[in-house]
Amino acid sequence: MSFKIVFMGTPEFSIPTLEALFKSKFNIVSVYTQPPAKSKRGKKINASPIEEFSKKNKINFRSPINLNSDEEFKIFKELSADLIVVVAYGQLIPKIYLKTVKLGFINVHASLLPKWRGAAPIQRSIMNLDNETGVSIMKITEVLDTGPVMHQARISMNQNTDAKILTKVLSQLGAKALLDSINKIADGTAKFKEQDHSVATYAKKISKAEGKIQWNVGAKKILAKINGLNPNPGAWFVYKKERFKIWKAEMVNENGEPGKTLDDKLTIACKEGSIKILEIQKEGKSRQEVDQFLLGNNIKQGESIA
């Protein structure tokens, strides 16, 4: 493909699209990604997955702290890109940039827009018990996730779908949809349709506090929270002033007082039905299967879980 592309992305989710562009021999003149970040304990500086991929494949990349300086804008303009591809870059594109590229900025968004605009569409779709989700290829405009859409690809979900699995599936789906869309842009057959803003929903960023499980709701909703917040930030409960993160669970058709254990195997009653924990992690410890965990943690039937 003769026209020049700039790619903007940061996390693992962005890799399949950049890899697809690279293998398809598109002219990637530069990659933009977020600067290296400190690990959780601050002992190590970690480059983004996109930076690592770019280094490995000898692709020119930049990792500015922000795009708002005159110098950074000058560097961007000198690339003379025809098209910008954005996949989870993690930074808002300044308005001045949007007006300088011939074919504009297109974005791979992990939802069926206008549903779940915003920072956490994958997690919110699972937590909302949606039956389907997908990816949208859209044009970036000045207001976040409101631009016209040229293509959508859909997939079904079930009660066992978690955010880790869904992120991987949607990243692959997005890469394929993006390549198809670029080909249409290149041959002049791309058609963009405005979103119906009146039915838009928003996927606000997930907070750690939101991961706390409230047992006075139904088991289906609690399982959706566990799956939607896996792996980060995780769904959790407190027992004897210690925090426990649930990695994996299943619904059980048993009833009892919400928040009470129904057996010695960590089956916990909800408002409707109950949750049987399969994998768990005590704060400061390693992730364990529940049988192994219970060898060193004596949580018996009838105990209260907060």
What confidence tens digit (pLDDT) does each residue in 217-238 have? 999 999 999 999 999 999 999 9
Distance CA 149, CA 151 (A): 6
Residue-wise pLDDT for 247-269, tens only, equals: 999 999 999 999 999 999 999 99
CA distance 173 to 115: 18
43 pLDDT band, cuts 50/70/90, is low
215 pLDDT above the threshold of 60: yes
Q: What is the pLDDT of residue 257?
A: 97
Distance CA 95, CA 275 (A): 48
Residue 193 maps to a domain: yes
248 CB-near residues (< 8 Å, 6+ apart): 226, 230, 277, 278, 279
Task: Give the separation between CA 245 and CA 277, rounded to whole angstroms.
Answer: 10
pLDDT at 39 over 90: no
Q: Is residue 101 part of a domain?
A: yes
Point out the domain boundary residue: 154, 187, 203. Answer: 203
Q: How many domains does the chain have?
A: 2
Q: Is residue 301 part of a domain?
A: no
106, 20: one domain: yes
Establish if 98 belongs to a structural domain.
yes
150 and 284, same domain (yes or no): no
Within a domain: residue 142? yes
Check whether residue 109 and residue 240 sit in a common domain: no
Residue 221: domain span: 209-296
- Residue written as tokens 């410890």? 285
- What pLDDT score was predicted for residue 1? 52
Share of the chain above pLDDT 90, in %: 93
Which residues does residue 248 pair with via DSSP β-bridges, in sequence order?
A: 279
Q: By C-alpha distance, which of 23, 36, 29 is closest to 63?
A: 36
Q: Is residue 303 part of a domain?
A: no
271 & 150 share domain: no
**Residue 216 maps to a domain:** yes
pLDDT above 60 for 189: yes
Tell me the per-residue pLDDT of 265-288, one tens digit each, with 9 for 90 and over. 999 999 999 999 999 999 999 999
pLDDT above 60 for 205: yes
Q: Is the pLDDT of residue 101 over 70?
A: yes
In this structure, the answer to whether residues 224 and 253 fall within a common structural domain is: yes
What are the C-alpha distances in Å from 204 to residues 123, 159, 217, 220? 10, 22, 21, 22
241, 137: one domain: no
Q: Is 101 in the same domain as 8?
A: yes
For residue 189, give the CATH number of its domain: 3.40.50.170
Is residue 130 located within the same domain as residue 234? Answer: no
- For residue 269 the two structure tokens come to 């009653």
CA distances from 188 to 39, 185, 191 (A): 44, 5, 9
213 touches 190 (CB < 8 A): no
Do residues 43 and 106 share a domain?
A: yes
φ, ψ for residue 105 (rounded to 5)?
A: -110, 130
Q: Are residues 174 and 261 in the same domain?
A: no
User: Do the bridges between strand 149-156 and strand 202-203 make them parallel or antiparallel, or are there none, so unpaired?
Assistant: unpaired
Domain boundary among 203, 234, 257: 203
pLDDT at 32 over 90: yes
